[in-house]
Amino acid sequence: MDRPRILIVVGKAHQTLRCTLKQLLNRGGYHLIAEAEEGLQALRYARNYQPDLIIAETNLQGINALELGRVLFEDRIAPILIIVNGSSHPTFVDPIRESYPFSYVIEPLSDDKLFPAIATSISYYRHIRELESQVKSLHEKIETRKLTEKAKGILMEQMNISEAEAYRILQKQSMDRCIPLRKIAEAVIINNDLKNIPRKKDNIK
């Protein structure tokens, strides 16, 4: 299995945190693909490198970690794991819990806290994407069924044939032309709509 590709975002003022994080990632066998120092730079890197996870401290220049995470999630770029300072724990954890499906880990960092958080963040994000894919697929199937039913009705009326015969015609056209059934149904519907457009009478002068 490929090592998770990680992008870290830590400000210039927190070099100790950066070093600790890099040491832990190296020890855990993760692939550090890039480092950013502020939010907008991290967003550019994320779009370019497509990491499996972004690990970011809370207070970033440009845009903070919550805003960065919101953009990453809405654009479906990558999940984010936010590092929360122990002293500011209550201030940042509640907004994280109440917003998008972000994960967080509280300093001081250690193997037993960071590694499970990384695994959970990546796994949860992939689960969300899988569910979204399933919902999209189901939606497309429902839309295809609706269009097919409408196209069958048009053929039944125009050709005075049964529902089964109309469906066989659609299937045959789909197979013969190597075109999805939905596209064939859409073509039948569009063609019927065009036929039903009333023609404008020529103006008589």
Residues 69 and 140 in one domain: no
Question: Per-residue pLDDT averaged across 74-94, rounded?
Answer: 78
* Better pLDDT: 201 or 79: 79
> pLDDT-based confidence at 195, cuts 50/70/90?
confident
Range of the domain at 172: 133-195
Give the model confidence (pLDDT) of 7-30 as tens digits.
999 988 888 999 999 999 999 999
Calpha distance 71→75 (Å, rounded): 6
Residues 48 and 105 in one domain: yes
Question: Per-residue pLDDT averaged across 86-112, rounded?
Answer: 73
CA distance readout (Å), 10 to 5, 22, 115, 160: 17, 11, 18, 70
Q: Give the pLDDT confidence score for residue 88 in this predicted structure.
A: 55
Q: Which residue has the tokens 């991290």?
A: 42
- Is position 123 within any domain? no
Residues 86 and 18 in one domain: yes
Residues 138 and 74 in one domain: no
Q: Strand order in 80-84's β-sheet?
A: 31-36, 5-9, 53-57, 80-84, 103-106
CA dihedral 6, 11, 69, 63 (to 10 degrees): -150
Residues 155 and 63 in one domain: no
Residues 17 and 91 in one domain: yes
Residues 97 and 151 in one domain: no
Calpha distance 8→68 (Å, rounded): 12
| CATH value at residue 76 | 3.40.50.2300
- Is position 128 within any domain? no
140 Cβ contact partners less than 8 Å away, ≥ 6 residues apart: 182
Q: In terms of residues, how long is the chain?
A: 205
- Domains: count for the chain: 2
- Is position 114 within any domain? no
Residues 102 and 11 in one domain: yes
Q: Give the pLDDT confidence score for residue 204 in this predicted structure.
A: 47
Residues 101 and 24 in one domain: yes
